[in-house]
Amino acid sequence: MTNIVEVSGIEVYAYHGCMEEEERLGGKYLVDVEIYTDFSESAKTDKLIDTIDYVVIRKIVVEEMNKRSKLIEHVGYRIQQRFKKAFPNLIKSRIKVRKLNPPIEGTVKEVAIVIEG
């Protein structure tokens, strides 16, 4: 059985980007996570140890977002790698990193990357 654990809209203020201003001033990011797993055991036992803990998902995201990178692609990859190590029952994951109000020409609400695997 394949199930999905979702944690959406993890808000983080971080300092990613190629421009000097982004490193100095930072910006707001939103991260959405889907973890594909089999949580049929936890559905039966009602025990947190038998599933993927939302608190751990958020903790990993925040820790990796707090490490400066030029590219959000790099941050997303690091998050994915941490999930693989932290969750032995992970089948696959989907991570979406959204950079709000990016400093590019014109009005752009957000840019995003998605990593699946």
**What domains are defined for the chain?**
3-116 (3.30.1130.10)
> 36-79 pLDDT, tens per residue?
999 999 999 999 999 999 999 999 999 999 999 999 999 999 99
Active centre residues (catalytic)? 99
Residue 20: is its pLDDT beyond 90? Answer: no
pLDDT band at 106 (very low <50, low <70, confident <90, very high): confident
All residues at 6 or more sequence positions from 32 whose CB lies less than 8 Å from its CB, including other chains: 6, 7, 8, 9, 10, 95, 96, 98
pLDDT at 71: 96
pLDDT at 22: 84
The per-residue pLDDT of the chain, averaged, comes to 95
pLDDT band at 32 (very low <50, low <70, confident <90, very high): very high
Residue 21: is its pLDDT beyond 90? Answer: no
Longest dimension (CA), the chain: 53
For residue 45, the one-letter residue type is T
DSSP string, 57-70: HHHHHHHHHTS--S
